Amino acid sequence: MKSIFRNILLASVAVFAFSCNESEDLVTANALEGGLVEATSANLFYVVGNTGPYGMEFKLNQRSDIYVESIALYKTFVGSDVLQDVDGNDSLAPYTTNEVLHSTINITEKTNHYVTDSVTFDELIAGLTRSDNGAELPASDGDLQIGDSWTMTPVFTLSDGREVSPDYKINFSVSTQFAGSYEIVDIQYYRLGVYRDDQHGFFLGSTVDVTSVDATTYFIGELWPDWITGNQLYFTIDPADNSISYPLEYKGAAQLLNDEPLITCESSPNDLANVPCGSSNFAVADPGGADVLDMTYGYFTGGSGPREFYVKMVKR
């Protein structure tokens, strides 16, 4: 979906320049004089684990008398530190950075056309330092927080020598690939080594909501809503290879399923002998949005034995 951020100050097919000179009348004459530059999207997403490149596109509506000769893109960043109080509760403390030039797009055509630029993670962080302590930005995107963002501010140089800015900026918000709503497409459940098709917890066709906690951690808030209520599961997806793992403890508390200890293919492979430990626990990023989570885990009931689960989910 494309959203066009237009800077037309008059109902006219003519193009304009948004001047920085306060003595100029922006609502009348200048709206008819300059080059209109439209961003095909001003709200973009930086997905943790995908270092780019990410594209930016501009539509230029040129005039032969006054036209855009170049587009300079200046970047800055708003990040956040995770703070923890005495009770172990997290909060985010925002910080900002300096503003530096990312790139300059030189324009040679005087006719209407599109121009593009791109940026990678290394390019996004290059030259930016925190305003509070002068530190560089994290070298790994896994250290960013969900909701952090870069802002690109365009500045256009016109053929008459003016440097002008539009009333939009381009934002790259930090997000995660795998948050969203999923449908169960395959499931296996073994109780004490015996396959059961009467109680799967999740059922084929059920919808599961996966929520981002941070750049690599995810949360399922109601694991078996049609079977046993009150269960939740935290898991991580490694951006290097999209492998899934399950911390046995989260924020100092043991992960429990059905009030029993979580077991994983790493911690208790012998107790998960009937589900596909060797070929599971991975995520697949789909360019069309149909991401896949392939997960194997279970819990162990003392005095009884293991409950084993295999679940495959596709984002809808």
pLDDT tens, position by position, for the chain (316 residues)? 333 333 322 222 223 233 333 333 222 233 344 467 888 888 888 888 889 999 999 998 888 788 899 999 999 999 999 887 777 777 889 999 999 999 999 998 888 899 999 999 999 999 999 999 999 999 999 889 888 999 999 999 988 888 988 888 999 989 888 988 899 999 999 999 999 876 555 678 888 888 888 888 998 877 766 566 678 899 999 988 999 999 999 888 999 998 999 999 999 999 999 999 999 999 999 988 899 999 999 999 998 999 999 999 999 8
Q: Is the dihedral of CA 215, 216, 219, 220 positive or negative?
A: positive
Which of 111, 145, 175 finishes a domain?
A: 175
Q: Please check whether residues 38 and 163 belong to one and the same domain.
A: yes
CATH number at residue 53: 2.60.40
Q: Is residue 8 part of a domain?
A: no
Q: Is residue 12 part of a domain?
A: no
Q: Is residue 229 part of a domain?
A: yes
Q: Please check whether residues 170 and 273 belong to one and the same domain.
A: no
CATH number at residue 243: 2.40.128
Q: Please check whether residues 33 and 171 belong to one and the same domain.
A: yes
Q: Please check whether residues 127 and 204 belong to one and the same domain.
A: no
Give the residue from 296, 292, 293 showing the smallest Cα distance to 279: 296
Q: What is the pTM of this model?
A: 0.62
Q: What pLDDT is attached to residue 79?
A: 94
Pairing between β-strand 149-158 and β-strand 253-254 as defined by DSSP bridges:
unpaired
Vertex 175 angle, CA 37 and 250, to 5°: 165
Range of the domain at 282: 180-315
Q: How far apart are CA 307 and CA 150, in angstroms?
A: 45
Q: What pLDDT is attached to residue 276?
A: 96
Please state whether the peptide bond connecting residue 261 to the residue before it is cis, i.e. omega within 30 degrees of 0: no
3's tokens:
């959203």
The total number of residues written for the chain in this structure: 316
Q: What pLDDT is attached to residue 199?
A: 58
Q: Please check whether residues 155 and 191 belong to one and the same domain.
A: no
Which of 112, 141, 175 finishes a domain?
A: 175
| Per-residue H/E/C for the chain | CCCCECCCCCCCCCCCCCCCCCCCCCCCHHHHCCCEEEECCCEEEEECCCCCCEEEEEEEECCCCCCEEEEEEEEEEEEEEEEECCCCCEEEEEEEECCEEEEEEECCCCCCEEEEEEECHHHHHCCCEECCCCCECCCCHHHCCCCCEEEEEEEEEECCCCEECCCCCEEEEEECCCCEEEEEEEEEEEECCEECCCCCCCCCCCEEEEEECCCCEEEECCCECCCECCCCEEEEECCCCCEEECCCEECCEECEECCEEEECCCCCHHHHCCCCHHHCCEEECCCCCCCEEEEEEEEEECCCEEEEEEEEEEEC
Q: Please check whether residues 256 and 132 belong to one and the same domain.
A: no
Cross-strand pairs, 83:
91
CB 206 within 8 A of CB 226: yes
Q: Is residue 5 part of a domain?
A: no
Q: Please check whether residues 193 and 164 belong to one and the same domain.
A: no
Q: How many CB atoms lie within 10 A of CB 225?
A: 16
Q: How far apart are CA 44 and CA 52, in angstroms?
A: 12
Q: How far apart are CA 261 and CA 269, in angstroms?
A: 14
Q: How far apart are CA 15 and CA 13, in angstroms?
A: 7
CB 148 within 8 A of CB 79: yes
Q: What pLDDT is attached to residue 258?
A: 87
Number of domains in the chain: 2
Q: Is residue 291 part of a domain?
A: yes
Q: What pLDDT is attached to residue 29?
A: 34
Which of 140, 175, 210 finishes a domain?
A: 175
Q: What pLDDT is attached to residue 200?
A: 56
Pairing between β-strand 43-47 and β-strand 170-175 as defined by DSSP bridges:
parallel
Q: Is residue 125 part of a domain?
A: yes
Q: Please check whether residues 239 and 298 belong to one and the same domain.
A: yes
